[in-house]
Amino acid sequence: MAEALLPSRYILQKAWKLGQKMAFGERRLRPQIENCYQYPSYGLFRTVHRHSLEALDAFHAWDAKLQLLVEREAHASGGLQDPRQWDVFYRDVAGPIRSSFWYGWEQVHQLEMKYDAEVERYRKSKTPTPVLHVYTPPARPEFKPTALPEGAELQEWEHMAKAVFEEMGGDSNDKLWELPSPDEPLMKRSQ
């Protein structure tokens, strides 16, 4: 069985340092987190973000330097003659070297922390803010008094007076609760 291909620690460190160097030196390649909340996880965002940066013209010079590290590791592994070995090499060696490079860049830019902050900001902007509802009494129709028919006022008074009298448990002197008629003199009533 053939020996498994793995990148050397030295090459992984070189790739990581190259990624940090790009983060400090290349001002045209900045984190693009404007719409990162569209991705359900940081891992998915990170993958898409890496591919979008690799498509920029400013990345080509850095990609060439990264490719030199990958070729160096291919030569150190004794040369790859079989095309199937190249597939395994790119999957098991070149892939981790590229990842190491991007981890270095992302660490300097604190990409995961920026992603989390942007997603949290977006969530807060979409969360409905509590609204203070002030009680407003319903509008009442304006009260317009109507004239009572003659004698109705006296009937209402007598009805109310009897109810109050019964509540108080007073004697049955109904004459005290009757309204004097307008024609009746007040003095006569008090006798």
Same domain, residue pair 24 and 92: yes
Same-domain status, 177 and 86: no
- Domain assignment of residue 71, yes or no: yes
Is there a single domain that holds both residue 159 and residue 69? no
Q: What pLDDT was estimated at residue 105?
A: 92
Between the CA of residue 160 and those of 30, 127, 177, 186, what are the distances in Å?
85, 57, 10, 22
From CA 8, how far away is CA 86, in angstroms rounded? Answer: 17
- Structural domain contains residue 54: yes
Q: What is the pTM of this model?
A: 0.61
Q: Given this model, what pLDDT does residue 1 score? A: 34
Q: Do residues 91 and 170 share a domain?
A: no
Give a yes or no: residue 145 inside a domain.
no
Residue 139, in any domain of the structure: no
Confirm whether 83 is domain-assigned.
yes
81: amino acid identity, one letter: Q
Predicted local distance difference test score (pLDDT) of residue 144: 61
Consecutive sets of 10 residues in the chain, 191 residues long: mean pLDDT of each?
72 91 90 88 92 92 92 78 77 88 92 92 78 68 61 65 64 57 60 48
- Give me the domain span that covers residue 83: 9-126
Domain count along the chain: 2
**50 & 85 share domain:** yes
Residues 46 and 122 occupy one common structural domain: yes
Confirm whether 98 is domain-assigned: yes
- Tell me whether residue 62 is in a domain: yes
Tell me which residue of 21, 23, 33 sits closest to 113, measured CA to CA: 33
